[in-house]
Amino acid sequence: MIRFLLSRFIQGIVVIFAVITITFLILRASPGGPFRSERTLSPEVLARKMEYYGFDKPIPVQLWRHLVHYATFQFPESQVFAGRTVDEIIISGFPISAAIALPALLLALCIGVPMGAQAALRPNTLEDRASQLAATIGICTPSMVLGPVLAILFGLKLRWFNSSGWFDGSDWVLPSITLGLIYSAYIARLTRGSLRETLAQEFIRTARAKGADNTTIIFRHALKLACLPVLNFLGPAAAGLLTGSFIVETVFQLPGLGQFFIASAINNDQELLIAISAFYAVLIVSFNLMVDILQAWLNPRIRLQA
């Protein structure tokens, strides 16, 4: 187990630095230069700015400096948000994205798993069809539609919540519901498919033959196994949610990470873009590791090997 963890840890670090390198190279190769402005800058001003942000050095030197900065936790300054280091920006945005993401994940699981299970247990009945229809609608509804609909209904019409902004203690509710409902649709479909498959397996038939009652079969044997694809999905999904959903954050005007991520791409804020990509990589690596450990715990057939 320790060998497994150590090996995955080292792999993770390699992945993270690979992400930094690739993002860096793609950004440096992108056309247009780092300081885009409709008004032409004088050559002196441009040269001084390039020097300030280190763009005047050869690419390998720049890359090496980046890698060293990240390895020593001395993070660079954003090019757009003057005087703010990228870690300062991530620290300001991450708690907000997390405050939306965690309830959204919980909601997605609380709706998705029972709905999917219900449908799997009663295949081709009205309930199954209804839940499948709801899931399909959920998957097809983009958050840029669902978000404004909820904001207009519960914000502008019923006035239960603020339609946007991050001011009240209840401002996480509508964005979390928007994200949660959409993710619950994916989870419901995954649960249904995987539970139906599990229920058809021999060990379930054996359990039935031995006289185990239906509840025990479903909860102790089948669901545990049927959760594996859901878990696989949850790892990257959680990382994605935690780094912020740009659309939901824009619709509800939340100062989370997602807004910074997209703004950095639009403004060509290369330092911030590299930093958020690296942060995303850290989350993906950590969640995938957690998923692997959980899977081994849920399914004895899986062994953790370095």
Q: Which residues bind other proteins (CB under 8 A)?
A: 30-33, 36-42, 44-45, 48-49, 52, 77, 80-84, 89, 92-93, 148, 151-152, 155-156, 158-167, 250-253, 255, 259-260, 263, 266, 268
Residue 206, Cβ neighbours under 10 Å: how many? Answer: 11
Q: How far is the CB of 77 from other proteins (least distance, A)?
A: 7
Contact (CB, 8 A) for 289 and 8: yes
The smaller minimum CB distance to other proteins, of residues 12 and 255, is found at 255
The pair phi, psi for residue 225, each rounded to 5°, is: -75, -35
Beta-bridged to residue 85, according to DSSP, are 77
Please state the closest distance from residue 59 (CB atom) to other proteins, in A. 18
Of 225 and 272, which has the nearer Cβ to other proteins?
272
- The first and second tokens of residue 146, run together, are 């669902």
Taking each continuous run of H as one helix and of E as one strand, the counts in the chain are 13, 0
What tokens appear for 139 in the block? 């998957």
Instruction: Decide if 239 contacts 284 (C-beta within 8 A).
Output: yes
* Nearer to other proteins (CB atom), residue 41 or residue 130: 41
CB 277 within 8 A of CB 7: no
**Least spacing, CB of residue 100 vs other proteins, in Å:** 14
For the bound state, the minimum distance from the C-beta of residue 66 to other proteins, rounded and expressed in Å, comes to 19
Task: Tell me whether residue 38 or residue 202 sits nearer to other proteins (CB atom).
Answer: 38
- Tell the smallest beta-carbon distance from residue 152 to other proteins (Å): 7
Nearer to other proteins (CB atom), residue 14 or residue 47: 47
Q: How far is the CB of 166 from other proteins (least distance, A)?
A: 6
Q: Which is nearer to other proteins, 240 or 244 (CB)?
A: 244
Q: How far is the CB of 39 from other proteins (least distance, A)?
A: 6
H, E, C per residue of 82-141: CCCEHHHHHHHHHHHHHHHHHHHHHHHHHHHHHHHHHHHHCCCCHHHHHHHHHHHHHHHC
Cβ proximity to other proteins, 81 vs 186, nearer residue: 81
CB 194 within 8 A of CB 230: yes
The contacts of residue 49 (CB under 8 Å, 6+ apart) are 35, 41, 55
Dump the DSSP string for 214-255: HHHIIIIIIHHHHHHHHHHHHHHHHHHHHT--HHHHHHTT--
Kindly state the smallest distance separating residue 34's Cβ from other proteins, in Å.
Answer: 9
Q: Which is nearer to other proteins, 76 or 112 (CB)?
A: 76
